[in-house]
Amino acid sequence: MNHIKTQCPAKINLFLRVLDKRIDGYHNIETSFQLVDLYDLMSFEKTASEIIIESNEDLLRGEDNTIYASALKIKECLSNKKYGVKINIHKNIPTGSGMGGGSSNAASTIIALNKLWNLNLSEKKLGTIAKEIGADVPFFMFGKNALGSGIGDELQETSSIKKNILVIDPLIHNSSKNMFSLLEEWKKNEKNSLTKKNHFFDVFIEKNKEVKDFVEKFGNEYLINLTGSGSCMFICYENDEEITKILKKIPSKWRLFFCKPLQYSPICYI
């Protein structure tokens, strides 16, 4: 096999609670991961030696991204270092959005290169590599909806939700690292509350006035939730009539994605 194509799905967090900070710098969490049908498109072509990334996003063409880091980790397992790969990725999942695009890309890279280079690495070894790249990568390698604990790497399969998902992207690039720091500061003030569905939500809207105004205006009428540490929000709904009103009120410069839930990721079929 010299060529692999796949789709990398996004996720939403149906709930997300941040617990204690660990010695390794990560935080223990409790969450529910739900896969959705918003995809980045990736292809992998075996080459002579180098790791080359081509993309519609400039930031992914270099070495400072999860795709390159994953490929490098896998290449370290090669006995024949002459193998290389040309990776092409077309990004559709917003970056810095809490939808896990970078982690999904990393997971697909790990699984694809293990197969492309005939490494036959064990599930345990692949899991170790995934965890080294990022906290959400093990979930995307798992490939199924799951309850997550630990840093998000202890996974228990769950069924998919049935409702459609309206994803609202306010076009804000959010740093997870920065959001965890802000959350730590937020918790120090006893007067500050934590939204039960997502502990990051209050922190996020307090630093983004336009989002705060939107949530305060429509939050009682619609169950608006945040995914990950933001910036994307979502509303679950059964039919189009339920969201007709709010669609007219969402700022025109924001992006919308009309998604359906997935039970399995395409990574299961690589």
Ramachandran region of residue 127, left (φ > 0), alpha (ψ -120 to 50) or beta? alpha
Q: How far apart are CA 10 and CA 1, in angstroms?
A: 27
User: Which pair of tokens denotes residue 181?
Assistant: 């720091």
Q: Does the annotation mark 196 as catalytic?
A: no
Burial class (CB in 10 A: 0-12, 13-18, 19+), 78: middle
Task: Give the chain's radius of gyration (CA, Å).
Answer: 19
Q: Does the annotation mark 240 as catalytic?
A: no
* Catalytic residue selected from 11, 73, 91, 144: 11
Residue 65 near residue 28, CB atoms below 8 Å: no
* Complete DSSP assignment for 217-253: HHTTTS--EE-TTSS-EEEEESSGGGGHHHHTTS-TT
User: Which pair of tokens denotes residue 121?
Assistant: 């690495």
* Catalytic residue selected from 40, 136, 153, 169: 136
Residue positions annotated with a catalytic role? 11, 136
